[in-house]
Amino acid sequence: MRRILLAALACLCAAAPAVIDGGTARAATADCAGTVEVTAPTFDRQSVAPGQSFTATAAITNCTDQPQQVSGYWRAQSVMPPGAPYTFCTGNDPFPLNAQLAPGGTYVTSMRWDIANPQCAATAIRASVVLYAPSVTRSADIPVTGAGGPRSCVASYRTLNEAPTGFVAEVTVANPTAAPVNGWSVVFTYPGDQRITASWNAVVQQDGQVVTATNASWNATIPPGGSVTYGLYGNWRRSDAPPTTLTCR
């Protein structure tokens, strides 16, 4: 059965409009912990539109002094506006990923996707590296422009307080248009290893380094020229760097 599944995955990889890089090796960093660490994917561009392509890159590090064999896959998912039906914007998933890691070694892998669907209505594409054993998933979002209708809100992030292992942050959601915003969501990717522990004034979910916030019942409507704020409590170990791109719909 396992051979059949692997063969099926290989067929999907060959048929889909995407390219996976074989990867390169490099030395591990001193702060590597656990068995294997995976960085959140980074992108070769700030945003992508239907008809364009983008490349995601991630690093898989062996934190031990023994060789490690890792297997898993790359995956891309559409991030949809609240209440919108799901739209498939990229090619078939998943795309298999296999690597032999030397002791203390790092394997850098890249994946390219095409936004082939001209009717893509996603606000972002979530690229993920998923490993089977040890079980690790790291994700990041690239905003989709020219899709899903005009942007009706903008969001900004600021750190209110930072301790050696914790932080408090605030996100402002503003309406720069001449019409009310009725319902909003904000998506961003932490470049560090932050983990959110609590929030206020929004419903917040975290998937790897990707954070999605949707309005609460009492602040769903933003009048023209108005704004609302929500807050985050969280922990961090190596980096509390703020997100650089926030997608607001």
CATH number, residue 175:
2.60.40.290
What is the spatial distance between Cα 154 and Cα 175, in angstroms, rounded to a whole number?
7
User: Is residue 167 domain-shared with residue 108, that is, in the same domain?
Assistant: no
User: Is residue 63 domain-shared with residue 138, that is, in the same domain?
Assistant: yes
Among 95, 115, 143, identify where a domain stops.
143
Structure tokens at 66: 């023994």
User: Is residue 55 domain-shared with residue 117, that is, in the same domain?
Assistant: yes
In a domain, 158, yes or no: yes
In a domain, 10, yes or no: no
Would you give per-residue pLDDT tens digits along the chain (249 residues)? 444 433 443 333 333 333 334 444 444 455 677 889 999 999 999 888 887 889 999 999 999 999 999 999 999 999 887 767 788 888 767 889 999 999 999 999 999 998 888 778 888 899 999 999 888 999 999 988 865 444 578 899 999 999 998 999 999 999 888 778 888 889 899 988 999 999 999 999 998 888 999 999 999 999 988 999 999 999 999 999 999 888 887
In a domain, 192, yes or no: yes
Cis peptide before 94 (omega within 30 of 0): yes
User: Is residue 92 domain-shared with residue 163, that is, in the same domain?
Assistant: no
User: Is residue 87 domain-shared with residue 66, that is, in the same domain?
Assistant: yes
In a domain, 4, yes or no: no
In a domain, 128, yes or no: yes
Among 81, 112, 143, identify where a domain stops.
143
**CB 50, CB 78: distance < 8 Å:** no
In a domain, 55, yes or no: yes
Domain housing 236: 154-248
In a domain, 14, yes or no: no
The number of distinct structural domains making up the chain is 2
- Block residue for tokens 């990041």: 140
On whether the pTM is more than 0.85, the answer is: no
User: Is residue 23 domain-shared with residue 135, that is, in the same domain?
Assistant: yes
User: Is residue 131 domain-shared with residue 160, that is, in the same domain?
Assistant: no
User: Is residue 160 domain-shared with residue 236, that is, in the same domain?
Assistant: yes
Q: What is the DSSP string of 100-165?
A: EEPTTEEEEEEEEEE---TT---SEEEEEEEETTTTEEEEEEEEB-S-SS----EEEEEEEEE-SS
Q: What is the DSSP string of the chain?
A: -HHHHHHHHHHHHHHSSEEE---EEEEPPTT--SSEEEPPPEESSS-B-TT-EEEEEEEEEE-SSS-EEEEEEEEEEEEPPTTPPP---S--S-EEEEEEEPTTEEEEEEEEEE---TT---SEEEEEEEETTTTEEEEEEEEB-S-SS----EEEEEEEEE-SSEEEEEEEEE--SSS-EES-EEEEE-SS--EEEEEESEEEEEETTEEEEEE-TTS-EE-TT-EEEEEEEEE-SS--PPPS-EEE-
Among 124, 143, 162, identify where a domain stops.
143
User: Is residue 126 domain-shared with residue 166, that is, in the same domain?
Assistant: no
pLDDT value at position 147? 53
In a domain, 11, yes or no: no
User: Is residue 109 domain-shared with residue 194, that is, in the same domain?
Assistant: no
- 31: domain CATH number? 2.60.40.10
User: Is residue 139 domain-shared with residue 23, that is, in the same domain?
Assistant: yes
User: Is residue 227 domain-shared with residue 118, that is, in the same domain?
Assistant: no
Q: Which residues contact 30 (CB under 8 A, 6 or more apart)?
A: none
